[in-house]
Structure formats: structure tokens, C-alpha cells
Amino acid sequence: MSENTQKLWGGRFTGETDPLMHLYNASLPYDWKMYKADLEGTRAYTSGLNKLGLITPEELVKIHYGLGEIKKEWDENKFVRHPNDEDIHTANERRLGEIIGRDIAGKVHTGRSRNDQVVTDMRIFCRDTVNEKLLPGLKELVNVMVKRAEKEINYLMPGYTHLQRAQPIRWSHWLSSYATYFTEDLKRLKELLERFNQSPLGAGALAGHPYGIDREYLARELGFQGVIGNSLVAVSDRDFVVELMFWGTLFMNHISRFAEDMIIYSTAEFGFIKLNDAYSTGSSLMPQKKNADSLELLRGKSGRVFGDLAGFLMSLKGVPSTYDKDMQEDKESLFDCLTTAEHSILIATGVISTLSVNSENMVNALTVDMLATDLADYLVRKGVPFRETHRISGECVAKAENLNLSGIDKLPLEQYKSIDSRFEADLFDTFNFEKSVERRDAIGGTAKSAILKQLSSLQSQI
């Protein structure tokens, strides 16, 4: 049998394909990942053809048996690829013919195009990846962060703006902040799943199905929540690919910021945390080095995922309706994005669950000048307008600096009174880091009660 007659599209062509063109056109090296989805789609589709009387019950039994055998071969890494298997659809149909005979296998594509077949496979693959890997992984990541925050809620540390010490916070408050980001990522992914879990199967090449197949039946069989109502859109829509890669880009942005904080906190200059050896590497030259490579890779791979999204958007932007071969560029970038996100979740979970915290270094990094806002708040409670107290507190900081004092808590009471007569001896109660964080007990604040509410809310959302 010639090369062309083995291809799903070969009947029109008599000449041989340029070998380079075959390689350029082939997608099996990466779309084999969708083998399970492709077999599931064919199982449901042939059941639909059976309902129409286009496949007999006896033929359907043989087809489903063959599909099961092919799945076993893929599962056990025993599937033998043929040089002319240009994609997963061709490979599976070719193998089905070898198992049950080409006459019966040749019926499975009746009324179906690779245009609706491939996008059906992709939607199933994406749904399974989200349900089986990304959502459980995100839940575990948030859960690990919440449990750690509950256990280490007494640890105080500096909070930063502009990478400058700003106000005291709890380590648990920092953990809760990123757990919140990742919980929003989880919720966003669930919403996206509802949108893209729609069936394109039965739309044909672009104009619909010639035999009146029950598309709602196909959707139910494959676990889709509905049917895409326009056949042109069904085969050409790749918005779900873009949205998934946008999700991946935003998630990796959060992971990158998380990693950057952790890299800083793990340096000798900070010494707040120490990574487990399982997530660190050494230097080939300097034996004393312990590098936070896991975190640096998390930070670096965010750019890779952004590139996946940007690259596919550029490929998609000029594609006319409906299906065009440009759309084959969706898979490598999408698969890379999903795999990178999945692995990043696992690495981040490993890092945060195994690191050690130096709470002494954290609290030693707190400085009294970080309580300047608390000093302003002291006067606010005496009825002084905040804008005025802000200026007064700044003058106190400047006075302490001019006197070469180690902090504003060392400024004598008479100096305070010389700046503003409303200062009393009780102002020195302000200079307490624990009391500072506990004063902020409104929703979202640093007090234990506020943090525990945050953690409880996050737990309920996952």
C-alpha cells in the first residue's frame, strides 16, 4: 500500500510527499499524549454511528475491543509507531485496522473529520489534565501553606514595600497572602473548565454532520456539559487554548513572585528560611554554596509560559475561518504550558512543606522605626487628625536620627513633648511588635484572629 493511501487524506493525491514535508507536517511526536482522549472520542463516536445504523452491533463490539487493546499498548508503552503515522488519529486508526481488519476500522471515520476529532481530543485532554493534575495539585499547595501558617502563627517578621522594611507582620500572614493568590488561581481554573467543557464532536470538517448524528448523545458519552452550537466555531475555536495559557501565565506570575520572595528570604543577608537539600543545589567551584535553584527555576519558567501564550496568539491572530493548519501550533505550546504549571505546583509544594524557618532571624530583623505608623495611630486615638499625626511622627523619627539614637523608642519623653504636648508617658507602650500586629484585627489584618479567619476561609474554598 502506498504512503498516500495510508494517510487519512490520501485519496486525492498521487504524488509522494516530500520527506521533509512529512516531518514538518507530522504532530505524532507530541500529540501522542492525547491517545486516551482520541480513543475515548472514537468509542463514543462509533456508538453514535451504531445508533444511526451505520455500524452494526457486531462491528461495534469489535471496534470497542480493538480500541481497548490499543489503549493497553499505549498504557504499557508497547505501541509501535509507523513511519507514516503523522498524528495520533492516523496512528490509532491504522492500528485498529491491524487488529480488527481494515474493512471495519474504515467505518469509524464516517461523517467525522480530523477537524472535529482533534479539537474533541484537545478538550478532553485539557479537562482531564485540569481535573486530575492541576486542581488537586493546587489544593494540596494551598493546604500545605495553610497548615504551615496555622502551626507557625506566632512568628513575627518585617513586611516590605519597595523592598524596604515597612511594618511588622506575621510569617503566617505572608503565607496566607500567597495561599490567597493560589486559591484565586484554583477558582479561576474551575470557571474556565466550565466554559471549555463543551463538545465539538459531530461538526464534521466545518459544515455539520451529513447523517444526522445525535451530538447531544456524543457530548453526554464523553462527559461534556453541552454542545458547541455552530459547526464553524466547533472546529476552529481555540479560545479555550488561549484562556488556558493565559491562566498558566497568570499562575506562573504568582509562582514567580512567590519564588522571588523566598529567594530573598533564603539569602545569608536575610536568613529567614533555609531550603531543604532536596530543593537546592551546590556550586561546581565554591563548596560552601547552597543555591535556591528550585526557586530560580520557578521564577525563570514563568517567562517560558508567557512565551507559549504570546507565540500562539501571534499564530492565531491572522487565521481565517475555519480550520487551518496554523492551528496545529496550539498543541506544543499548550502541552508545555500545562506541564510546566503542573510541575511548578509540585515543586512549590515540596519547597514550602520542607523548608525550615529561622524565627529568631525574622524577629531580629524588626526595627523600632517600623512602628512609626503606630506612633501616629497613638495620637489619632487622642483625637488628632491622621494627616497631622503623620507629620508629627515623622518629626519624631527625624529627631531621633539627629540625636544619633538607635530608635524612636530611645527618644526621651521631654523630646516628644517638645514636638507635641499631647504625648504622654503611655506612648512607650506603642513600641511593641506583638501589640502592633494584634491591633490590626480587622478582616485581612495581621492579628492572630484575623489570620485564622483568612486561613479558615481559604480552607473552605479548596
Of residues 9 and 60, the one with the higher pLDDT is 60
pLDDT of 32 reads: 96
pLDDT of 15 reads: 56
Are residues 281 and 190 part of one domain? yes
Number of domains in the chain: 3
Q: Phi/psi at 274 (nearest 5 deg)?
A: -135, 125
Last residue of a domain, one of 83, 105, 127: 105
pLDDT digits (tens, 9 = 90+) for 142-186: 999 999 999 999 999 999 999 999 999 999 999 999 999 999 999
Q: Does residue 439 belong to any structural domain of this protein?
A: no
Beta bridge partners of 82: none
Are residues 235 and 336 part of one domain? yes
Are residues 97 and 30 part of one domain? yes
Last residue of a domain, one of 329, 344, 364: 364
Last residue of a domain, one of 80, 105, 130: 105
pLDDT of 3 reads: 42
- In terms of DSSP bridges, do strands 164-170 and 273-274 run parallel, antiparallel, or are they unpaired? unpaired
pLDDT digits (tens, 9 = 90+) for 4-19: 445 554 555 455 667 8
pLDDT of 158 reads: 97
Are residues 389 and 323 part of one domain? no
Rounded to the nearest 10 degrees, the angle between the axes of helix 114-129 and helix 35-51 is: 120
CATH value at residue 87: 1.10.275.10
Q: Phi/psi at 153 (nearest 5 deg)?
A: -70, -20
Are residues 289 and 245 part of one domain? yes
Q: Does residue 82 belong to any structural domain of this protein?
A: yes
Q: Is the pLDDT of residue 68 over 50?
A: yes
Are residues 144 and 12 part of one domain? no
CATH value at residue 412: 1.10.40.30
User: Is the pTM of the predicted complex or chain greater than 0.75?
Assistant: yes
Q: Phi/psi at 268 (nearest 5 deg)?
A: -60, -30
Whether the CB-CB separation of 249 and 306 falls below 8 Å is answered with yes
Burial of 229 (0-12, 13-18, 19+ CB in 10 A): exposed
Q: List active site positions.
A: 162, 283
For the record, the C-alpha cell of 250 comes out as 497568570
DSSP-derived letter for residue 159 is E
Confidence of residue 289 (pLDDT cuts 50, 70, 90): low
Q: Does residue 170 belong to any structural domain of this protein?
A: yes
The CA-atom distances, in angstroms, between 17 and each of 85, 89, 262, 449 are: 13, 19, 53, 70
Are residues 265 and 146 part of one domain? yes
Are residues 328 and 387 part of one domain? no
Rounded to the nearest 10 degrees, the angle between the axes of helix 88-100 and helix 114-129 is: 100
Q: Is the pLDDT of residue 342 over 70?
A: yes
Q: Does residue 295 belong to any structural domain of this protein?
A: yes
pLDDT digits (tens, 9 = 90+) for 406-425: 889 999 999 999 999 899 99
The DSSP-derived string for 186-253 is: HHHHHHHHHHH--B-TT-TTTT--TT---HHHHHHHTT-S-B-S-HHHHHH--HHHHHHHHHHHHHHH
CATH value at residue 232: 1.20.200.10
Q: Does residue 436 belong to any structural domain of this protein?
A: no
Are residues 140 and 256 part of one domain? yes
Q: Does residue 443 belong to any structural domain of this protein?
A: no
Q: Does residue 438 belong to any structural domain of this protein?
A: no
Confidence of residue 73 (pLDDT cuts 50, 70, 90): very high
pLDDT of 270 reads: 96
* Mean of pLDDT over the chain: 93
Are residues 226 and 133 part of one domain? yes
Are residues 131 and 45 part of one domain? no
Closest CA to 339 of 310, 296, 304, 299: 304
pLDDT of 24 reads: 79
pLDDT digits (tens, 9 = 90+) for 365-405: 999 999 999 999 999 999 999 999 999 999 999 999 999 99
Percent of the chain residues topping a pLDDT of 70? 95
The Cα 73–Cα 80 span in angstroms is 8
The Cα 391–Cα 44 span in angstroms is 73
Are residues 336 and 238 part of one domain? yes
Q: Phi/psi at 14 (nearest 5 deg)?
A: -115, -25
Give the residue ranges of DSSP H helices in 403-445. 413-419, 433-439
Q: Provide the residue range defining the domain that includes 406.
A: 368-431
Q: Does residue 292 belong to any structural domain of this protein?
A: yes
CB-based contacts of 6, cutoff 8 Å, min separation 6 = 82, 84, 90, 94
